[in-house]
């Protein structure tokens, strides 16, 4: 069993529902914000005496769900295909042809495929063995993480170590996509601390361009750079009030969901949080927005985050 899985199992036993599975941060914005805010709630979930029941998966009480709301715009056909195709290797082959022709969206989504499949492709046998071990131990919360890891394994099954889906390669491909005109790729580089230009004017300009674009991919890609990492910096214009805090990062992600990003229970966002970060909803039907408001944001902070989301999307507040 890998060291990373052992670390994850130890945390599963201690924290129950709010899992923090040790992993190397990939090029997508990682699950820092949800993890940091959600962990305190996990301690309250432990039974009296502090000992978790490790012998069986406990009954899960379904959390209240927020009413489903249609996104403000449909996702692009390529983004939708990325979320829904069962064979990401085949999808990557078709994207590569378009990327080689210089199509910015194809170049960006190809890096998303690589990022989604990286942990699996680097050691497929170990990844599947670790998943089976996790499933057999019947730890609290393990079923959600097992389901997410199996979903990744199935969709990425044809990738192998020789494909070289490492962090460095993904960052190079994202830089190429950004230089070709992909706004999400450009935003992701800023979130990763590797912007095309390190000046404050560029940072503010990029933030404004993302805000005006209402592109859900760009919003999600920028979110990691608008959280704690942006503290003390000027975001410029309308983004200034949604910058510099853990809630800010979540607000950009929630805004991306409203703008058309797939934030459903089996979408890439929820899957990656759970499979790579161990941050899993105990309710398999819960989407990202419901999970965030249920597990990551204190009740008194929910209205603040909602106001941030409205300001980013340009929606009028619902009465």
Are the beta carbons of 67 and 294 closer than 8 angstroms?
no
Rounded to two decimals, the pTM is 0.79
The two three-digit tokens of residue 259, written as one number: 């703008």
Instruction: Count Cβ atoms below 10 Å from residue 285 Cβ, excluding itself.
Output: 12
Nearest to 120 by CA among 284, 283, 282, 271: 271
pLDDT by position in tens, the chain (length 319): 454 444 444 334 333 333 323 333 333 434 334 444 343 333 333 233 333 343 444 444 444 555 556 677 788 999 999 999 999 999 999 999 999 999 999 999 999 999 999 999 999 999 999 999 999 988 888 999 999 999 999 999 999 999 999 999 999 999 999 999 999 999 999 999 999 999 999 999 999 999 999 999 999 999 999 988 777 565 555 666 788 888 899 999 999 999 999 999 999 999 999 999 899 998 989 999 999 999 888 888 899 999 999 999 988 665 4
Helices 88-100, 77-84: inter-axial angle, 10-degree rounding: 150
Report pLDDT for 318: 53
Q: How far apart are CA 301 and CA 48, in angstroms?
A: 28
């Amino acid at each position: 069993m890998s060291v990373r899985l052992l670390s994850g199992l130890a945390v599963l036993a201690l924290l129950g529902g709010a899992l923090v599975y040790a992993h190397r941060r990939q090029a997508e914005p990682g699950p820092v914000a949800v993890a940091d805010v959600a962990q305190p709630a996990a301690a309250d979930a432990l039974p009296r005496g502090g000992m978790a029941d490790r012998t069986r998966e406990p009954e899960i009480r379904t959390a209240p769900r927020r009413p489903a709301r249609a996104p403000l715009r449909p996702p692009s056909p390529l983004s939708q295909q990325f979320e829904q195709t069962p064979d990401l290797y085949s999808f990557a082959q078709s994207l590569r042809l378009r990327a080689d022709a210089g199509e910015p969206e194809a170049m960006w989504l190809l890096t998303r495929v690589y990022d989604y499949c990286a942990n699996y492709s680097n050691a497929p046998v170990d990844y599947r063995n670790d998943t089976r071990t996790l499933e057999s131990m019947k730890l609290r919360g393990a079923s959600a993480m097992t389901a997410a890891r199996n979903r990744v394994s199935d969709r990425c099954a044809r990738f192998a170590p020789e494909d070289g889906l490492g962090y460095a390669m993904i960052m190079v491909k994202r830089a190429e996509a950004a230089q070709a005109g992909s706004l999400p790729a450009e935003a992701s580089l800023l979130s990763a601390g590797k912007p095309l230009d390190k000046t404050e004017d560029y940072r503010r300009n990029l933030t404004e361009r993302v805000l005006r674009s209402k592109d859900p991919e760009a919003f999600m890609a920028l979110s990691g750079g608008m959280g704690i990492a942006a503290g003390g910096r000027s975001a410029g214009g309308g983004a200034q009030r949604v910058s510099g805090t853990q809630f800010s990062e979540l607000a950009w992600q929630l805004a991306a969901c409203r703008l058309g990003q797939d934030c459903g229970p089996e979408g890439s966002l929820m899957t990656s949080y759970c499979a790579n970060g161990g941050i899993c909803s105990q309710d398999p039907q819960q989407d990202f927005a419901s999970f965030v408001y249920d597990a990551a944001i204190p009740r008194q902070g929910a209205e603040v985050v909602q106001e941030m989301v409205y300001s980013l999307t340009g929606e009028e507040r619902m009465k």
